[in-house]
Amino acid sequence: MQYHFQPFFHNTAADHLTADSDRLDIPELSDGFDPSLLSLANGIEGSMIPYSYITERLPCGLYAVHIALTAVQDVEQLFLFTGRKLLRDIISLKKGDRYERTFYQSVAGIIPRYHEAYYPVENLFVTLCTPEPGAVRIEACYAEAANVSDGVTTVYLCGDSTVTDQSAEIPYLPGACYASWGQALPAFLDGRIAVENQAHCGLTTETFRQEGHMDIVKHFLRPGDFCLIQFGHNDQKLPHLRADREYPVNLRRYIEEVRNLRGIPVLVTSPGRNIWKEDGTYHELLAEHVQAVKDVAVSTNTPVIDLHEFSVRFYEKTGMERSCGYFHPGDYTHTNEYGACLLASCIAAGLGRIFPEVFHVTAGPSDFTPPENLWDLLDSQNNRAGSTEQKEQFDAMEKSTAALLKVLEEAVQAPSDE
């Protein structure tokens, strides 16, 4: 059966698409673009209005998404997303050029941010972003059911805000939005690979389980699927989740659960923050938790991708000021689209190196680097909602270096029996 896409307009979903159109106001159940957010790209040259397309309601599962485009004029840059803003490609086209690809997409349930209930995802999305509206014509866009027997492998992502599917503003600009390596990873993987992102902001190895997110992974994961696990930024803020206490215990439990389902666990070390000391040297804040991940990897014979080493070496080589271009304006932990692609390239390369028979790595977006002095061009206002919940406070803390350093110091100094 083919599921065809038709135009999707935020807050005006047709009744025949869903019996409860309010669900599509939740970014995790939609295309990942949130019109309620204040966009830092307003009035900025190169900002883009996303054009999204939606299928009719469909069951959870794996799908092959076929898309064919023709350029009706020259297109300098076109961002192609599927699902909730999963980056698939960044392309340029000359007038008359045809672009045709097939992508594999997981449609599973999720517990969205600011919600406690489980929601099944019921629609597929394709989104085009380009500074030249109307520059491309969609020749074909439809989805067909796929499954494991077709050779499709799903990669499940478990983690925090540096992994999660971040919502994007309208208008969209790659340097002005939040984005994670989890969202950019599909752009670097070719073949029959689907990425299912269950990571969420502010979570730890403890709360990811307590809130029910691991139960969702365990429900959908099938033998031969992969599960990438990356926590640490928030664990280190709590004394009982220090690197010498429950943090490695929790990691080992995740590994055991994935293996019991005949899945393949992969550990990922946390990406470094862009925080520096007064003397100009890099301020390493994650060393103990990074080492704990490596120790667990050795003791459990689990593959590990050292994203921390990769990111820190890059920031040290690039310098703090230039590295800011890879982060959301005013933020030293959460990346924008440029940083997401940078980190995703490391994850993809690691998967290709460790599992070359499964993962075929592409070069990804070429020459995708931020403009100089990006932060000077954009307002650094935090445009995300918040609450008094611990996970929301943890997420907000990453945007304040002073608050972050204070809580990390308190966690280290807390008595070991807390």
Q: What is the pLDDT of residues 357-389, one digit of tens each?
A: 999 999 888 789 999 888 988 876 666 666 668
For residue 38, the model assigns a pLDDT of 87
Lowest mean pLDDT, pick from 12-21, 111-120, 205-214, 257-266 = 12-21
Confidence of residue 9 (pLDDT cuts 50, 70, 90): confident
For residues 74 and 155, the answer to whether their CB atoms sit within 8 Å is no
Confidence of residue 13 (pLDDT cuts 50, 70, 90): very low
For residue 134, the model assigns a pLDDT of 87
Tell me the mean pLDDT in the region 106-115.
Answer: 94
For residue 417, the model assigns a pLDDT of 58
For residue 392, the model assigns a pLDDT of 85
For residue 18, the model assigns a pLDDT of 45
For residue 397, the model assigns a pLDDT of 80
For residue 380, the model assigns a pLDDT of 64
Per-residue pLDDT at 314 exceeds 90: yes
Per-residue pLDDT at 263 exceeds 90: yes
For residue 149, the model assigns a pLDDT of 80
Per-residue pLDDT at 36 exceeds 70: yes
Cβ-in-10-Å burial (0-12, 13-18, 19+) of 59 comes to exposed
For residue 381, the model assigns a pLDDT of 63
Per-residue pLDDT at 403 exceeds 80: yes
Whole-number percent of the chain with pLDDT over 90: 78
Confidence of residue 20 (pLDDT cuts 50, 70, 90): low
Per-residue pLDDT at 228 exceeds 50: yes
Q: For residues 233 and 271, what is the distance between their CA atoms, to the nearest angstrom?
A: 9
Judged by DSSP in three states, 29 sits in: helix
Q: For residues 214 and 119, what is the distance between their CA atoms, to the nearest angstrom?
A: 14
Tell me the mean pLDDT in the region 214-238.
Answer: 97
Show me where the domains of the chain are located: 2-413
For residue 108, the model assigns a pLDDT of 96
HEC readout, the chain:
CEEECEEECCCCCCCCCCCCHHHHHCHHHCCCECCCCCCCCCCCCCCECCEEEECCCCCCEEEEEEEEEEECCCEEEEEEEECCCEEEEEEEECCCCEEEEEEEEEECEECCCCCCCCEECCCCEEEEECCCCCCEEEEEEEEEEECHHHCCEEEEEEECCCCCCCCECCCECCCCCCCCHHHHHHHHEECCEEEEECCCCCCCCCHHHHCCHHHHHHHHCCCCCEEEEECCCCHHHCHHHCCCCHHHHHHHHHHHHHHHCCCEEEEECCCCCCCECCCCCECCCCHHHHHHHHHHHHHHCCCEECHHHHHHHHHHHHCHHHHHHHECCCCCCCECHHHHHHHHHHHHHHHHHHCCCCCEECCCCCCCCCCCCHHHHCCCCCCCCCCCCHHHHHHHHCCCHHHHHHHHHHHHHCCCCC
Mean pLDDT, rounded, of the chain: 92
For residue 220, the model assigns a pLDDT of 97
For residue 130, the model assigns a pLDDT of 93
> How many residues does this entry show for the chain?
418
For residue 249, the model assigns a pLDDT of 98
**Per-residue model confidence as pLDDT tens digits over 121-169:** 999 999 999 988 789 999 999 999 997 788 999 999 999 999 999 999 9
Q: Which fold has domain 2-413?
A: Rossmann fold (3.40.50)
Q: For residues 32 and 50, what is the distance between their CA atoms, to the nearest angstrom?
A: 10
Quote the pTM value: 0.95
User: 153 Cβ partners below 8 Å, 6+ apart?
Assistant: 192, 193, 194, 224, 225, 226, 358
For residue 213, the model assigns a pLDDT of 98
Tell me the mean pLDDT in the region 53-61.
Answer: 96
For residue 386, the model assigns a pLDDT of 64
**Per-residue model confidence as pLDDT tens digits over 95-104:** 999 999 999 9
Per-residue pLDDT at 265 exceeds 80: yes
For residue 384, the model assigns a pLDDT of 65
Residue with more model confidence, 365 or 212: 212
Confidence of residue 82 (pLDDT cuts 50, 70, 90): very high
DSSP label at residue 5: -
For residue 19, the model assigns a pLDDT of 44
For residues 91 and 130, the answer to whether their CB atoms sit within 8 Å is no
For residue 383, the model assigns a pLDDT of 65
